[in-house]
Structure 1
């Protein structure tokens, strides 16, 4: 039987904060609000650099914003799941950015 780790804001931060912070040129976010701000900055930078996938990060930031303000556990979990799917390729787009700088 396989178990899956629940999608939480903390798990998202643990997984993606360092890479996103690299592009944002800031310290890794410690709150979901800071992470959302960094995602928006990173989406703009990647878009300006012509890296595909920037729009997914911007959309992920929107889902995370909606999740942060949602008190319904089911809806929050669904929004966090959508954001996680969009962040799945964050490593790739950050890697491409690293090669450019």
Structure 2
């Protein structure tokens, strides 16, 4: 993604919703509010499994909550902040969670 490319709700959901839904034990979120809620559910589950990074998921959820209330450039900033926290973590954390769960 280039620095000027617009980050959308759908992009975030496409990147992360399936992994987070697995840990939240729910169907993948289809909107940003549901996704933020699933992050709030998944973060303590990662923590209970001893997986580092759960604090960043909580922070990403806060950024998504802010994005839901913001517009224009402010909304884009919050989406990018959430993405920057989720990108390096979600896939690896979920893989580790699956291994711990025996999947």
TM-score over 0.5 (shorter chain): yes
What does 1:16-95 align with in structure 2 at a 5 Å threshold? 16-71=16-71, 73-88=72-87, 89-95=89-95
Runs of 4+ in 1 over 6 A off after TM superposition: none
Counterpart-to-counterpart distance in 1, 2:11 and 2:68: 14
Counterpart-to-counterpart distance in 2, 1:4 and 1:18: 26
Counterpart-to-counterpart distance in 1, 2:3 and 2:69: 28
Paired positions, count:
99
| Secondary structure of 2:84's aligned partner | helix
Counterpart-to-counterpart distance in 1, 2:21 and 2:3: 30
Provide, for residues 21-51 of structure 1, a one-character-per-residue CA deviation record: whole Å limited to 9, x for no partner.
0001110001111101100000010111111
Q: How far apart are 1:70 and its partner, in Å?
A: 0.7
Counterpart-to-counterpart distance in 1, 2:5 and 2:46: 29
Q: How far apart are 1:83 and its partner, in Å?
A: 0.2
Runs of 5+ consecutive residues of structure 1 not aligned to the other structure: none
Q: How far apart are 1:14 and its partner, in Å?
A: 1.1
RMSD: 1.3
TM-score, normalised relative to structure 1: 0.92
Runs of 5+ consecutive residues of structure 2 not aligned to the other structure: none
TM-score, normalised relative to structure 2: 0.90
